[in-house]
Amino acid sequence: MKRARDMKKQLMNGLLLSTLSVAAGSAGAVDVFLAAKAFDKTLPDGDTVPMWGYVEDTGGLCYGAATIGDRLTCVNGLDDPQVPGPRLNLSDPLDLNPGDLRIFLSNGLTESTSLVITGQENPVSTVAGPTWDDGSTGPRAGNLTKKVRSFGSEAAANGGSMDYRWTATDNNPLRVGTSMLHSGTHPQKQVYMGLYSAVTLDAVAADLTPGTGSLAAEVYPGVAYEDEVVLFYSEIDADLNKSINCTALGNCAALTLPEYTTSIGYHPRWFLINGEPYSTACTDVNPPAGFDDASGYPCAEMLQTADIFAGSAGETTTLVRFLSTTGETHVPTLQGMYMDIHAEDGSPYNWQNGATVGGPAPRTQYSVQMPPLMTKDALLHALPANGDRFAVYDGNGYMSNPTDPDNFDIGDPVGGMLRFLSVDVDDDNDAVPDNTNDNCQVQFNPGQQDTNNDGYGNICDADLNQSGFVDFGDLTLFSAAFFTADPDADFNSSGFVDFADLTLFQGMFFQAPGPSWCDPGAVPGICP
């Protein structure tokens, strides 16, 4: 089954749909090392917006630093975060203690922060929470003037650290389903800045043990699925982000920006799914001065948003995990299809007769109401035919990010909360549909690396001179790049051209690059 193959990739490689690699701790819990870090995000209009996000601290290198200063230096050296942050997928059939999670957080921000998981018990830390507005922790001690600043214990600013535990030993293990990890400190500010990610734990993980014959995953008991899609809804108010960031850095006056006082005026203008607005490519083949004539956006920032793989022909059940950190309610809506909504915030809908709780009792709807800080799990049944695609759009609107918010006569090719899901063949099993997105249909390449931007993924593109065929001219170029970091000759994207790349080159000699979905009848503006 396709789902079995996807789960095998997930468990063997530790990366599917931005899934964070996790390791088993000494007590059987899953140990995750994260860092909170500031970074800049460029939006399709060319504006650079400050954000805060989570990034993996591989092996706990930063967390284990000798001093708080060393930890801050280490965090500053990590890759920039992605928003949403890395997904924590805890669905491992080999885990002896499912639901046991420990997160070790290093804080590179200029203010303290903490962690909570929506719909789950509060975490346990080495320092008892909550944290009050005077910086004290633990019980209120009768002082009714105190106000909560953080739901739990904080990692101090500029290199502080803290551990967060959800374990059976601490009497707060995670419940199964889809949950949301986010900041528990001033969430009306820090969540808007980007401190959030998904946490998933299945009731029954796909069992890949040879000879067992049991391959299906169940998100909740009795709720099985073959493939999955994550749709994470969020927003950006660029003005608010800039105000929060300059206040944290203490340089608002120098930047002529207002200092942050409250989020009550939060007014997002960018509406995102999985961290990005829906975008079409430039309408001009040769845009004047590199700007799209319809919107005035820089073409370098306007890329066609790829479809999301939702399943293969012959499959009948796809799980859609909806998450929202937006400030307002959004309504993901299917066009011409229905879904069974099985749970919200990890709590399944069940029928009950007196004291007897029965099995699943999903709500069959064509739309899902998503209030702020909510997760819902829904199953799509009877997927369309192979090659079809269908839209998931916001029934409340929020479908555009106006080029000029005061002039709605100006067209805008960059949309909001819209994504297209595709039903397609995925022969190389990299969760990228063959006929709608995959730039190398015969080799597993979930990252879709294409360093020369010709529409062919590096792993099946040894045509270094762009002649349309791999021959002795390409061999000469490859030989010159051997034992260098030449990105185009680095076919396996390892960061270095070596014998592994030579083996790939030999397999492509005297062949055309590809196959890529761009080969037959390429769509103008989507593929080079």
Q: Is the pLDDT of residue 15 over 60?
A: no
Within 13 Å of residue 135, how many CA atoms lie on the same side as its CB?
4
Instruction: Return all residues near 221 (Cβ < 8 A) that are at least 6 apart.
Output: 203, 204
Task: For residue 385, name the pLDDT band (cuts at 50, 70, 90).
Answer: low
Judged by average pLDDT, the poorest of 92-106, 446-460, 496-510 is 92-106
Q: pLDDT tens across 101-153, in order?
A: 999 999 999 999 999 999 899 999 988 878 888 888 888 877 888 888 888 89
CB 360 within 8 A of CB 342: yes
- Report the alpha-carbon distance of residue 209 to residue 222 in Å, rounded: 20
Q: Which domains does the chain have, with CATH numbers?
A: 2-206 (2.60.40.420), 439-528 (1.10.1330.10)
Question: Is it the case that residue 391 has pLDDT exceeding 50?
Answer: yes
Task: Dump the DSSP string for 245-271.
Answer: HHHHHT-HHHHT-PPP--STT----EE
pTM of this structure? 0.79
Is the predicted pLDDT of residue 499 greater than 80, yes or no?
yes
pLDDT band at 2 (very low <50, low <70, confident <90, very high): very low
Choose among 351, 347, 371: nearest CA to 359: 351
pLDDT at 526: 46
DSSP-based three-state secondary structure for 53: strand
Give whole-number Cα distances, 409 to 399, 402, 404, 412, 413, in Å.
15, 9, 9, 9, 13
CB distance 463 to 513 below 8 Å:
yes
pLDDT on residue 294? 66
**Dihedral angle sign, alpha carbons of residues 5, 8, 10, 12:** negative
Are the C-beta atoms of 102 and 31 separated by less than 8 Å? yes
Alpha carbon separation from 129 to 123, 132, 246, 287 (Å, rounded): 9, 9, 28, 56
Tens of pLDDT, residues 156-194:
999 999 999 999 999 999 999 999 999 999 999 999 999
> Could you tell me whether strands 350-353 and 356-360 are parallel, antiparallel, or unpaired per DSSP bridges?
antiparallel
Tell me the average pLDDT across 233-259.
Answer: 93
Average pLDDT, the chain: 83
Q: If pLDDT is split at 50, 70 and 90, which confidence band does 283 have?
A: low
Kindly tell me if the per-residue pLDDT of 64 is higher than 60: yes
Q: Which residues pair with 131 in a beta bridge?
A: 137, 150
Q: Kind of pairing, strands 48-56 and 30-42? A: antiparallel
Q: Determine the pLDDT at residue 210.
A: 44
Compute CA distances 78 → 54, 162, 323, whole Å. 11, 18, 26
Confidence class for position 273, pLDDT limits 50, 70, 90? very high
**How many C-beta atoms surround the C-beta of residue 429 within 10 A?**
14
One-letter identity of residue 133: D
